[in-house]
Structure 1
Amino acid sequence: MAAEGYEEMSGNGELEESSATEASEATASPRAEMAEMSEENGGPAVAPDVSVRPDPVSFSMPPPAEDDEGELPADFERLWKAAHDNPQDFTGWTDLLQYCEQESHITASRRALAAFLTRYPLCYGYWKKFADLERRAGFNNKAEEVCVQGLQAIPLSVDLWIHYINLLLGTLDMNLPESPSRIRSVFEDAVVAAGLDFHSDRLWDLYVEWEKEQGNMKRAVAVLDRVLKVPTQLYNTHYDKFKDQLNGQEPEEVLSTEEYEELRTLCRQTQKAERAKQAQEEEEEERPPGEEEPATPEGTDSEELMQKIREQVLLRRDKVYQDNEGEVRKRWHFEDAIKRPYFHVKPLDRLQLRAWHSYLDWEVAELNKDPKDPQDSQDPQQDPDQAATEEPEVTVQPQVDSEGAAVAHDDTRVRILFERCLIACALYEEFWIRYNQYLESQSLEEARAVFKRACEVHLAYKPNIHMQWATFEERHGDLSEARRVLEALEKTLPGLAVVRLRRAALERRAGLLDQSEALLREAVDESKENPTLHAFFSIKLARLLLKLGRNPSRARGVLQEALEISPDNDKLHLNLLELEVSGDPSAEAVQECVTRALAAALAPHTKILFSQRRLQFAEDYSNSIASVLSVYEEHQKLLKELGGTKRGAENGDEDSEKMSKSDDGSAVAVSAEVAATMAHVPITTPPPPVVGADASSQAAYGGYSSWYQQPQYGSYGSYGSYGYQNTWNYNQGYYPPS
């Protein structure tokens, strides 16, 4: 693949090395900082012709140019269909692109590249291939449009900026007066967007060399002067070049007019003071008759004065250089620990993820530290391996400008690092969520833009971040956007139950109970071909109707209809039994419910629980002892049939209190609690064995936790937890011996 900054597909499909660095999306803050630096150092502060913003969601591919190509290559449709049938298969896309390149078919290549870059916009190498394709075909304007589209997706791509600039240099008529101005504006746009990146040295060097070729040494030195404040990998080479330019030419030719005049006046005053002092020391010495004190011709500057100006310039720049060197040194071990700063579909190892987290932790901590704190001036040396596993305790030193004044440290560095991280870690939800949390306290619109980029471009098939986006919108009062996000997610991932539940819960919280019911009922109707999922949604709908709609009759109807499709689903039986028991006492309804469950193909221990619950109901609500004893005898008979001869509890203590609530809140029997409860009641025979109850019941319930990922409710506990213990067994002769 075209790995961001390091790997690129060559013409024959093999990976080849590239000296490029990683690319990332830039924010508006770096633009403001670089514009300020430009004005400080005499650089042009003009608005660039090309406005490149980090909004990959809004970019659209340029329309294909007209060509005379005939039919598409033979295997194109097959490879095209394979890529679109499985858009997450990166290999399928690269196979398609390689085939189009081998066939040299411009129409097929356009279609394949446009579709691929819509899904994988961080692969800068393919943006370059697309631009080169249009240029070779003679469509220079289309080539420029492709570069602009790519830079909107990855504004921090140094390589793509250089490719775009070289494209303009090769296609523009430099004899026209507006051409140099346009090139310069694009350079300014490039250093504003990508100039603060740690690996942006090649871009700065190209800018300097181009200004030198234009014969404007002042602009070239002004660019060098600006980069002296940027902590980059080759920071020292920029200072060496600055000194070479200063020493190789007259200061007036390389310095801005304001700084030159200021230093010239200062150095002349210094010279006069030194000469006055020297004259005072030599005033006693007599000169030969007719000889006067030598004087510098009016209007000219001596070489001594020029040398003093150079010394003053370097004295000022030394302060900036030393501070910048400290910033580079503190970041160096973090940068060295990052082994893959470019985009790739292959997973990152745990150490790389930890390295990014450590770097982000440190950069955020730098923003919040007080530069006046003595401890903040420390700069401990740290091992690169340690940097990837531990958060360093280093602090930022205040930057100083050419006048020695402190330079404010804002959150630009943090944002730049987040954007760089979201290139290498674009497929990891945790970093997008972390960036959103950082931005949310500052700007809701910026935080919303991060969710939009993540969900609509890079993580279209990751449900968790989409649901967090919906929660974000609901929390900030935009219910319509929250609905839109969840609806779009459900279209992308149809059949994911948790999304439908989130939609229903959103409507319920908004007070639209009818809409919530409609969503669940629609899910019930659409899942009839999947009995397990149908039972799951039926239980959810029944509980909504019962608990919030206060309509037991409709809830009962939902469960009964579900039992017609899934007669052996023990969760449906348990919820229907709970509905009958918790409502108005009706022995007939409970008896019918238990009879239906005992006739179904349920696990033996589940049937025993139903029989115990019926016995408890008879004990609590029956009007005659004869009916209680009748139920008791049926329970004893069932125990014998299912392999046990245990006598039931004297007072029918085996009730729904011994059940725990499942992940969806329904009553689910827990055999371990049943066994614990049975220890508190007198028995005349050993209890029936309960083997593998938890595992079998979980399997019988269909593994609903895979859809509804919420912590299970704790169990109600045994009677002993309420302090009843054996006091309930006061009448141990209540039931006759079996």
Structure 2
Amino acid sequence: MAAEGCEEMSGNGELGESPDMEASEVPAPPPMEMAEVSEENGGTATAPDAPVDPDPTSFPMPPAAEDEEGEMPADFERLWKVAHDNPQDFTSWTDLLQYCEQESHVTASRRSLEAFLVRYPLCYGYWKKFADLERRAGFNDKAEEVCIQGLQAIPLSVDLWIHYINLLLGTLNMNLPESPQKIRSVFENAIAAAGLDFHSDRLWDLYVEWEKEQGNMKNATAVLDRALTVPTQLYNTHYDKFKEHLNNHEPKEVLSPEEYEELRTLCRQSQKAERAEQAQEKDEERPPGEEEPATPEGTDSEELMQKIREQVLARRDKVYQDNEGEVRKRWNFEDAIKRPYFHVKPLDRIQLRAWHSYLDWEVAQLHSNAADATQSEYAQEPNQATTEESEVTSQPRVESEDAAAVARDDHRVRILFERCLIACALYEEFWIRYVQYLEPQSVDEARAVYRRACEIHLAYKPNIHMQWATFEERHGDLTEARRVLEALEKIVPGLVVVRLRRAALERRAGQLEQSEALLREAVAESKEKPTLHAFYSIKLARLLLKLSRNPSRARSVLQEALEISPDNDKLHLNLLELEVSGDPWASAEAVQECVTRALAAPLAPHTKILLSQRGLQFTEDYSDSIQSVLSVYEGHQKLLKELGGTKRGAENGDEDSEKLSKSEDGSAVAASAQVPPTMPHVPITTPPPPMMGADMSTQAGYGAYSSWYQQPQYGSYGYQNTWNYNQGYYPPS
């Protein structure tokens, strides 16, 4: 899309380096030889108000105006369909937006921008384009609404805040008394939301200059004082501007009345002391009763003004030095971040590690400072009994300062997380990490982060959705957990792990019938996919057998599945284990029927041998007739001969038993029979394979369905995260 002014626009509408920040203005890193300063972030800074809630789901798009331009452009419908058929294709959206802009069609552009920004709300460049579109069309109110919506979605965008403020400056009637109040309020909201960003210098500078234009020099000083406590890239320029501001105006004009009177009194006393000392040195004596001429009321000498300025700078210099120390700590972390804005292009691993390292450090700083504050509090407790009343009364103030410092550090950690989630919005690891940080403090805030991640940025990432569902279940909100999983199944249909997770949720909630219904529905819907149908059938049969205690229904499920997939060895094995696990006297006929059915099915030879061996073992263990045992044994020996190979060697144990302990899909099965050569006519079998009570999805050849747990079309950006059914219940530690 066309560039706005001299600003360069990247492929996703993000602004490049601002023309306001020339290369010469970027300062060098703080000097490393500077003396170490306090580890408390921000020195004497106070924590700003809470930032604007960055919840894009909380705002609606403005209603589209009536189409006053007739029909849509010729290629609009084609490009619109391409974008909506594949909403994850960022290029199709930018092609649509570029076409609408080239056609200068307001309605088409508005419609496209609304749909695009719902899916990609972090592209602040397109919010600016949308606001400019409405303003050029004469809809100033709508332009302001667009800016507000954009700032709700991305409150850390300094560029968008400046764009919004400039819009107000260009549209409001500044002669009205409420206009300056509104702009000042917007400035305060901007500082609260984005003022701690490392690249927020332009916002601070704009605020200071606006206050000067309004003639509010004291307000400008207060803003500069706040800027001096914030670690930013151009931190040193704020101190230079403060000096210039102080030198260009009388101290009384720029300082608060309290500070000015305090410093004026201090400097006047200092002047008197100096003059008295000078008079004593020169042995100057005044006539009795004559005093030093008093300074006329309301006037101060230039010498006094200079002393006041020196005192002001002396106080600010300590703040500046502390802030420089904080900048120095963060400089290397900030320098390692090459793309702080959102883009759909993957970040390399170096960039991802840089964000992780920065977050590690900032969180460690918070914990260290909180531990220091706690230790200081404990150290003061033994002395409280012997302190005087004046010392006791000062204790709450010290505790309040410690609490404020911890709150300030916590706010900085949150700001860094929010910055990270702009650049790394498509990486679920950072969202999960943010949730882990917030959850001990506020479940609602953690839930809001899950909502932003799953409903906007990671709609097609199953893992974080399932972790959200687990989060809700763990905190007792089963209704929300169900909703999350149901919504995920609609977005990524056919993902087996989601259906299994839904069934497991209902089972844990005591809704066994609903759990069964979900699995039965999956069985019915997968009849066109025999392998998947068999997988769901086995899961359903195990539920019916182990939890519902209904082996007849479990048997029916497996038998119906065998009608569709007679060549599925896992179905045969599960059905056989079901029969073997029942009443041994009532199951003999059913066991042999299972073996007979399996031997007649198109199964692999080693699977048939395994099933025959299992039937032989059952007969040997539970049959009350030696004739029955011998009959089954002879049948097994005949099968071994028919399937070829040196079966006697296998029976003697000479052949590697592992060759018969692997099914076609590579999952472990029971070892083959071993018959001693000295007793060829007496069937002695090996210990039985796992019964139905074991996990059939991972034992006895019933596994190898891991491919159903991951669908490649729902891959992540940058690199794949291989995960299985058990992963995702709890976030990684």
Q: TM-score range by the shorter chain?
A: 0.7 to 0.9
Q: Is 1:627 equivalent to 2:628 in the alignment?
A: yes
Q: Quick one: structure 1 residues 405 and 598, their matched pair in 2 at CA, closer, same or farther if it must change by over 3 Å?
A: closer
Q: For residues 79 and 682 of structure 1, what CA distance do their matches in structure 2 show?
A: 80
Q: Which residue of 2 aligns with 1:496?
A: 495
Higher relative contact order (CA 8 A, sep 6+): 2
Q: Is 1:159 equivalent to 2:156 in the alignment?
A: no
* 1:279 shift after superposition: 3.0
Q: For residues 207 and 334 of structure 1, what CA distance do their matches in structure 2 show?
A: 27
Q: Which residue of 2 aligns with 1:408?
A: 405
Q: For residues 371 and 515 of structure 2, what CA distance do their matches in structure 1 show?
A: 56
Q: Quick one: structure 1 residues 69 and 598, their matched pair in 2 at CA, closer, same or farther if it must change by over 3 Å?
A: same
Q: For residues 432 and 147 of structure 1, what CA distance do their matches in structure 2 show?
A: 25
Q: For residues 513 and 14 of structure 2, what CA distance do their matches in structure 1 show?
A: 59
Opposite residue 436 of structure 1, the aligned amino acid is V
Q: Quick one: structure 1 residues 287 and 263, their matched pair in 2 at CA, closer, same or farther if it must change by over 3 Å?
A: closer
Q: For residues 532 and 39 of structure 1, what CA distance do their matches in structure 2 show?
A: 59
**Does the CA contact (< 8 Å) of 1:546 and 1:555 recur in 2?**
yes
Q: For residues 621 and 255 of structure 1, what CA distance do their matches in structure 2 show?
A: 99
Q: Quick one: structure 1 residues 371 and 317, their matched pair in 2 at CA, closer, same or farther if it must change by over 3 Å?
A: farther
Q: For residues 448 and 478 of structure 1, what CA distance do their matches in structure 2 show?
A: 11
**Does the CA contact (< 8 Å) of 2:14 and 2:123 recur in 1?**
no
Q: Is 1:674 equivalent to 2:671 in the alignment?
A: yes
* 1:547 shift after superposition: 0.4
When the two structures are superposed, what TM-score results if normalisation uses the length of structure 1? 0.80
Matches within 5 A, 1:476-491: 476-491=475-490
Q: Which residue of 2 aligns with 1:178?
A: 178
Q: For residues 537 and 306 of structure 2, what CA distance do their matches in structure 1 show?
A: 89
Q: For residues 246 and 487 of structure 1, what CA distance do their matches in structure 2 show?
A: 62
Q: For residues 126 and 679 of structure 2, what CA distance do their matches in structure 1 show?
A: 77
**Does the CA contact (< 8 Å) of 2:435 and 2:446 recur in 1?**
yes
Q: For residues 539 and 105 of structure 1, what CA distance do their matches in structure 2 show?
A: 58
* 1:706 shift after superposition: 2.4
Superposed CA RMSD: 3.7
Q: Which residue of 2 aligns with 1:593?
A: 594
Q: Which residue of 1 aligns with 2:127?
A: 127
Q: For residues 141 and 345 of structure 2, what CA distance do their matches in structure 1 show?
A: 35
Q: Quick one: structure 1 residues 467 and 371, their matched pair in 2 at CA, closer, same or farther if it must change by over 3 Å?
A: closer
* 1:429 shift after superposition: 0.8
Q: Is 1:249 equivalent to 2:246 in the alignment?
A: no
Can you list the C-alpha shifts for 1:510-548, whole angstroms capped at 9, x where unaligned? 111111111111111111121111111111110000001
Q: For residues 289 and 584 of structure 1, what CA distance do their matches in structure 2 show?
A: 125
Q: For residues 682 and 311 of structure 1, what CA distance do their matches in structure 2 show?
A: 108
- Give secondary structure in 2 for the equivalent of 1:369: helix
Q: Which residue of 1 aligns with 2:706?
A: 705
Q: Is 1:81 equivalent to 2:81 in the alignment?
A: yes
Q: Quick one: structure 1 residues 408 and 681, their matched pair in 2 at CA, closer, same or farther if it must change by over 3 Å?
A: farther
Opposite residue 126 of structure 1, the aligned amino acid is Y
Q: Which residue of 1 aligns with 2:443?
A: 444
**Does the CA contact (< 8 Å) of 2:439 and 2:446 recur in 1?**
yes
- Give secondary structure in 2 for the equivalent of 1:242: helix
Q: Is 1:99 equivalent to 2:99 in the alignment?
A: yes
Moved more, 519-528 or 573-582: 519-528
* 1:587 shift after superposition: 2.2
Matches within 5 A, 1:463-474: 463-474=462-473
Q: Quick one: structure 1 residues 119 and 519, their matched pair in 2 at CA, closer, same or farther if it must change by over 3 Å?
A: same
Q: Which residue of 1 aligns with 2:558?
A: 559
Q: For residues 635 and 597 of structure 2, what CA distance do their matches in structure 1 show?
A: 15
Q: For residues 47 and 346 of structure 2, what CA distance do their matches in structure 1 show?
A: 43
Opposite residue 356 of structure 1, the aligned amino acid is W
Opposite residue 256 of structure 1, the aligned amino acid is S
* 1:373 shift after superposition: 6.7
Q: Which residue of 1 aligns with 2:28?
A: none
- Give secondary structure in 1 for the equivalent of 2:57: coil
**Any gaps of 5 or more consecutive residues in structure 2?**
22-40, 376-397, 682-697, 710-723, 728-733
- Give secondary structure in 1 for the equivalent of 2:493: coil
Opposite residue 619 of structure 1, the aligned amino acid is E
When the two structures are superposed, what TM-score results if normalisation uses the length of structure 2? 0.81
Q: Quick one: structure 1 residues 224 and 711, their matched pair in 2 at CA, closer, same or farther if it must change by over 3 Å?
A: closer
Q: Which residue of 2 aligns with 1:28?
A: none
Q: For residues 370 and 69 of structure 1, what CA distance do their matches in structure 2 show?
A: 61
Q: Which residue of 2 aligns with 1:362?
A: 361
Can you list the C-alpha shifts for 1:20-65, whole angstroms capped at 9, x where unaligned? 99xxxxxxxxxxx99x97999xxxx9x9xxx942111222211112
Q: For residues 532 and 47 of structure 2, what CA distance do their matches in structure 1 show?
A: 64
Q: Which residue of 2 aligns with 1:542?
A: 541
Q: Is 1:169 equivalent to 2:169 in the alignment?
A: yes
Moved more, 598-607 or 235-244: 598-607
**Does the CA contact (< 8 Å) of 2:83 and 2:93 recur in 1?**
yes
Can you list the C-alpha shifts for 1:431-488, whole angstroms capped at 9, x where unaligned? 1111101111000100111111111111111111111011111111111111111111
**Does the CA contact (< 8 Å) of 1:569 and 1:701 recur in 2?**
no
Q: Quick one: structure 1 residues 265 and 164, their matched pair in 2 at CA, closer, same or farther if it must change by over 3 Å?
A: same
Q: For residues 273 and 555 of structure 1, what CA distance do their matches in structure 2 show?
A: 101
Q: Is 1:217 equivalent to 2:217 in the alignment?
A: yes
**Does the CA contact (< 8 Å) of 1:229 and 1:324 recur in 2?**
yes
Q: Which residue of 2 aligns with 1:206?
A: 206
* Percent of aligned positions that are identical: 80
Q: For residues 99 and 649 of structure 1, what CA distance do their matches in structure 2 show?
A: 75
* 1:176 shift after superposition: 2.1
- Give secondary structure in 2 for the equivalent of 1:57: helix
Matches within 5 A, 1:679-690: none
Opposite residue 147 of structure 1, the aligned amino acid is C
Q: Is 1:607 equivalent to 2:608 in the alignment?
A: yes
Opposite residue 530 of structure 1, the aligned amino acid is K
* 1:296 shift after superposition: 3.0
Q: For residues 421 and 285 of structure 1, what CA distance do their matches in structure 2 show?
A: 69
**Does the CA contact (< 8 Å) of 2:489 and 2:498 recur in 1?**
yes
Q: For residues 680 and 421 of structure 1, what CA distance do their matches in structure 2 show?
A: 67
Q: For residues 190 and 627 of structure 2, what CA distance do their matches in structure 1 show?
A: 91
Q: Which residue of 2 aligns with 1:734?
A: none
Q: Which residue of 2 aligns with 1:296?
A: 295
